Structures are given as C-alpha cells and as structure tokens.
Amino acid sequence: MARQDRHRATLELGDEELRALLAGVGELAEREIQAARGGPIFSEPPSAERLARLFGDRRALPLEGEPLADLLHACGQVLAAGRRTGPGFVGYVHSPPSPIGVAADLLASAADQNVTSWRSAPAATEVERVTVRWLGALVGFAEEAAGIMLSGGSAANLTALLIALRAGTERDIDRRLLRIYASEEAHFSRVSRHSRG
C-alpha cells in the first residue's frame, strides 16, 4: 500500500462488505452460544505454545488488511482457543451468554452511546433508569430507590466505598485515618495489600 493510500485508509465499509461482516460475525457468535450450551470449557487444554502458534509473529503492526474470510477464520480460531462458559459455570460471576444479551451488546455498540449524563445520551440514560427501577422492584427496594449500571463487581465496590465515605464522614476528614474491615470472603477488589498482613 502506497504511503498516500495508507493516509486515506478508513474503517468504513461498503454496504456489501458490511453485510458480509455482520453475517460472518453473527455466525461466529451463534457458534459460541451453542458451544457454551453444551461444549467443554476449553476445546483443548490451554497452553502458551498453542496461542503462540495461533497468533504467529504479530509483533509488527500490519500495514495491509486481510480478506474478510481470512479475518473471520482467524477470529473463529481465537474464540475456539479461549475459555468458554457453560451452563454450570459461575467463575468470575459471569454466567453463560444469553442470545438476547449478545444481540443487545451488538445494538448498544452500534448505537455508540456515551451514558455519562442525560444530555449526552437521553434515550440510553432513560433505559438505564428504567432498568434500575425494574431491578429495584424485583428485589423489593422502595420505588424512590436509585442507582447506576457499572461494568462489574470491582467498579461497584469502589463506587459503594466512595458513597459510604461521602455519606458517613465529615467533608474534611483525613482519609488516611479511615479503615475498612472485611472478612476473608470479601471480593478481591476490596482486599488491599495492607489487610493481608
């Protein structure tokens, strides 16, 4: 690829290329969902050597793209080499993917919403508010209860600690004097190096 062509390169796809990409990715996603329903957690024992063979020499940034078929084939190999969830898998809190969740992730990514405030994403923010209200009702919280969606347990724990700090301390308290007590079963994100003795 000539230097001037590289500067004009784009991630935009034509209509046919876009349809082919989405169809191929859809097939891979369906394969992963089916594998999670009944397949083994690993298609074969994981090893650094297998991954090295799979990825080959990828230290240098490629200057040219690959045909879509080759890219989808490589993605399929990477997915097969990874860890899959299963119906009984609850490690890391992740349950097996639901087809509805996979489709919702695709739509959320395509919508590209920045849910930092109502102004930047009014519809997505309202979806979050309604969902939080539904979840609150499901577990018996009062109707006026509120909350936000977070990326996972670690972010939720950090947010909860910040809220507790703001709600339970004076504004100008020396935070170095504060302590958190937790059992051995506490989520690892809350256990600091100081608490391990």
Q: Cα-Cα-Cα-Cα dihedral of 129, 134, 136, 138, to 10°? A: -170
Per-residue pLDDT 10s for the chain (197 aa) are 455 555 456 778 889 999 999 999 999 999 988 888 887 778 788 888 888 888 877 777 888 888 899 999 989 988 888 887 777 766 666 667 788 989 999 999 999 988 888 899 999 999 999 999 999 999 999 999 888 888 888 888 889 888 988 888 888 888 888 888 888 887 777 555 544 44
Q: Which of 92, 107, 122 is the last residue of a domain?
A: 107
Q: Which of 107, 137, 164 is the last residue of a domain?
A: 107
Q: List the Cα angle 177/179/182 in 5-degree steps.
A: 175
Count CB neighbours of 104 within 10 A. Answer: 11
Single out the residue of 146, 160, 147, 149 nearest to residue 189, CA to CA: 160
pTM for this one? 0.69
Q: Tell whether 54 and 69 lie within a shared domain.
A: yes
CA distance 92 to 157: 15
Q: Tell whether 81 and 18 lie within a shared domain.
A: yes
- Domain extent, residue 158, equals 150-197
Angle at which helix 99-111 crosses helix 15-38, to 10 degrees, equals: 150
Q: Tell whether 57 and 96 lie within a shared domain.
A: yes
